[in-house]
Amino acid sequence: MIQLKDLTKKFDTGKTVLTAVDNVNLSIDDGEIFGIIGYSGAGKSTLIRLLNGLEKPSSGTVDVNGQKITAIKGADLRKARQKVSMIFQHFNLLWSRTVQENIEFPLEIAGVPKAKRESRVKELVELVGLAGRENAYPSQLSGGQKQRVGIARSLANDPEVLLCDEATSALDPETTDAILDLLVDINKRLGLTIVLITHEMHVIRKICHRVAVMEGGKVVELGDVLTIFRSPKKDITKRFVAQVTETEDSTATIKHLRELYPTGELVKLIFVGEQTEQPILTKLIRNYPVEVNIVQGDISHTQRGAYGTLILQLKGSKQEIADAILFLKQEKVQTEVMAND
């Protein structure tokens, strides 16, 4: 388990004191994929560097599996860092070394004999899907392959925690999804705790169990990913959720439909978990005398279950529409009447 208690990091710029991390308290469970999301300057990169001792806090403590990272130094800190590994946005590979040599590098530093190094590299190359590319140099690899090398290298010393610093930000969407799938597979196979920082809600939605939202150095919202998607509380969290639940096209469609059907109501429904599989719309159409037009729909899958949004246009009398909306709420579907602009 990772525990952060009253963690604060300040930087003295000479003219002023900048608080990058402001009294953060978090607990991250063993085997969890935990996301930290925030825009540039939120403090998330500083926070992740505090986790492995690359930065020392101004106050507070970092405890990783019973060991206080903030209280050790020298050889003990270097040993502890072997159990808290890290992958980076820009891969940080050694360009004069092959794939095999890059993966071997931390084992060399740790003094592992050559035969054991080669055996370990073979396992890791298979794990990350790079069999046959052992003798290639980074310049001969795609972005996704480079990140796979980075992941394999980070696993060389059998870490207990893997930190991912914007690990997919430099990749195209398809490659990003492949790398995220690999991280989920590694998490399940090895039981590895993964802490991932990002500014992309798609990444959080796809692989994280829980998420902390950072703004101005503080954790402003924390919870299960599915719960955060269903009912974000802070404005910044709502903006992040909107990254993957709303599009410009839907906004234009809503405006167009309001012009076409000025007497109807546009209603946004949110389905969570088992609700996404229930025939709720069928019941609505059969039992209520309203005209139902589907404007837009989407179902996304998180590690905790499915999350779906649906925008309907309901036409009928005010009472008929009110009865239909009441039915939806009674079915425990989160229902929002979209106000006319």
Q: Which CATH number belongs to the domain containing residue 113 in this structure?
A: 3.40.50.300
| 3-class state of residue 58 by DSSP | coil
**Same domain flag for 221 and 285:** no
**Same domain flag for 30 and 92:** yes
The sheet with strand 2-12 has its strands ordered as 17-28, 2-12, 59-64, 67-68
Q: What is the pLDDT of residue 270?
A: 80
Last residue of a domain, one of 243, 270, 286: 243
Q: How far is CA 101 from CA 50, 138, 263, 297, in A?
A: 28, 11, 68, 48
**Same domain flag for 218 and 281:** no
Q: What is the pLDDT of residue 251?
A: 62
**Same domain flag for 180 and 139:** yes
Number of domains in the chain: 2
Last residue of a domain, one of 215, 243, 271: 243
CB neighbour list of residue 44: distance below 8 Å, 6 or more residues apart: 36, 37, 38, 197, 214
**Same domain flag for 231 and 282:** no
Q: What is the pLDDT of residue 257?
A: 66
Q: Which domain holds residue 198?
A: 2-243
Distance CA(9)–CA(272), nearest Å, equals 38
| 3-class state of residue 301 by DSSP | strand
**Same domain flag for 143 and 113:** yes
The sheet with strand 218-224 has its strands ordered as 84-88, 161-165, 193-198, 33-37, 210-215, 218-224
For 16-50, give one letter per residue: b (16+ CB within 10 A) or e. Answer: eeebbbbebebebeeebbbbbbbeeebbbbbbbbb
CB 12 within 8 A of CB 19: no
**Same domain flag for 161 and 304:** no
Q: What is the pLDDT of residue 262?
A: 67
**Same domain flag for 168 and 75:** yes
**Same domain flag for 282 and 192:** no
Residue type, 294: I
**Same domain flag for 189 and 271:** no
> Does the reported pTM lie above 0.85?
no
Residue 176: CA count within 13 A, CB half-sphere: 18
Last residue of a domain, one of 196, 221, 243: 243
Tens of pLDDT along the chain (341 residues) come to 899 999 999 998 888 999 999 999 999 999 999 999 999 989 999 999 999 888 899 999 999 888 888 888 888 877 877 789 999 888 889 999 999 999 999 999 888 999 999 999 999 999 999 999 999 999 999 999 999 999 999 999 999 999 998 888 888 989 999 999 999 999 999 999 999 999 999 899 899 999 999 999 999 999 999 888 878 899 999 889 887 766 545 566 667 766 766 667 888 888 776 666 678 888 999 999 999 888 877 777 777 777 778 888 888 888 999 999 999 888 888 888 876 55
**Same domain flag for 230 and 254:** no
For residue 293, the domain's CATH number is: 3.30.70.260
**Same domain flag for 125 and 141:** yes
